[in-house]
Amino acid sequence: MRTSIALFVVVTAPACNGKRAGEPITFPDDCGSMGFQRIGGVSRCAQVGEHTQLGLKPADDEMLVTLGNHIVGTSFTVGDQTGNDDTPLVRVKLGEQVARLTIAQVKDEQPVDFHLTLTVDVPRRGESTAPVPPMKVGRAVVDMMRAAAERPLKLPGDTDAPAKHTVLFAADNAWEAEIDGPAKTVADIDWVAVAKRGDEKTVTSCTYTSDRGGFTVPVKGFDTTVVIYERRTHKVIDKMEAPAYAEECPSSATSGQYSFDAKNDYKPIKAWLATRITAS
């Protein structure tokens, strides 16, 4: 049985502006046990007493703050944005801070302190204030960089393209930040390699025999297309195809087996990316 331990950061702060001090804001490590719908794998909740919950999530170059379970009339403020019953979701821009993140902070999923303060005003219960704890942002940065496949992606502090390239590899349906090159900060990343899956196809088939005769089970998978984009201009630098492949057929199967899954190997892609940044 898997055991999870919830860690709480509890912050108590005096009320300001002459308002009554509310209950402390807590930041549980995982809000699932409190019935609040999490808003992504890097979300965190703020809890005020047993009556108010908010979700906090870095996404692209923003911090999304969502009002969850709450008493009618509750309002909250983060940075320069305020939410309430009518505006339960606010977006706090973090562009300059995201651009200055180090490569280590992104690749190693190091918690980042964006120096934001959360204030929650609950009717008849007072106002609570606390600093937003450091949060991991690697996934958010990868998601942000995927936009280079759709349009030029500018970041605060951008300069001309560097002499030596750095590529961020955004694998399909993966969030890990694979970054190769001399860049020191996110703004220094000038190439983005975006992987997309093709349509499902049958790679091969496996043949078996049973008491009722022979049968085959298809091996199905997706080819992967990887395109390198110049982040600032959306210019296509290069592309490659990485076909799905099948390993040896399993030793046994049932006649009702729908299919086996083909494999995708990112090692050749990463090797190709390494040659491209060194050859340019």
- Provide DSSP, the chain: ---------EE-----TTPPB-PPEE--S--GGGT----STT-EEEEETTTEEEEEEEETTEEEEEE-S--TT-EEEETTEEE-SS--EEEEE-HHHHHT-BHHHHHTT--B----EEEEEETTTEEEEEEPPPB--HHHHHHHHGGGGTS----TT--SPPSS--EEEE-TT----EEESS--BGGG--EEEEEEEEEEEEEEEEEEEETTEEEEEEEEEEEEEEEEEETTT--EEEEEEE--B--SPPS---TT---EE-B---HHHHHHHHHHHHH-
pLDDT tens, position by position, 231-278: 999 999 999 999 998 888 988 888 778 899 998 888 889 899 999 988
pLDDT at 157 over 90: no
Average pLDDT over residues 129-151: 91
Local confidence band at 175 (pLDDT 50, 70, 90 cut-offs): low
When the pLDDT of each residue in the chain is averaged and rounded to a whole number, the result is 85
Domain map (residue ranges) of the chain: 10-136, 139-279
More confident residue, 165 or 108: 165
pLDDT tens, position by position, 73-122: 999 999 999 999 999 999 999 999 999 999 999 988 889 999 999 999 99
Average pLDDT over residues 150-156: 93
Local confidence band at 210 (pLDDT 50, 70, 90 cut-offs): confident
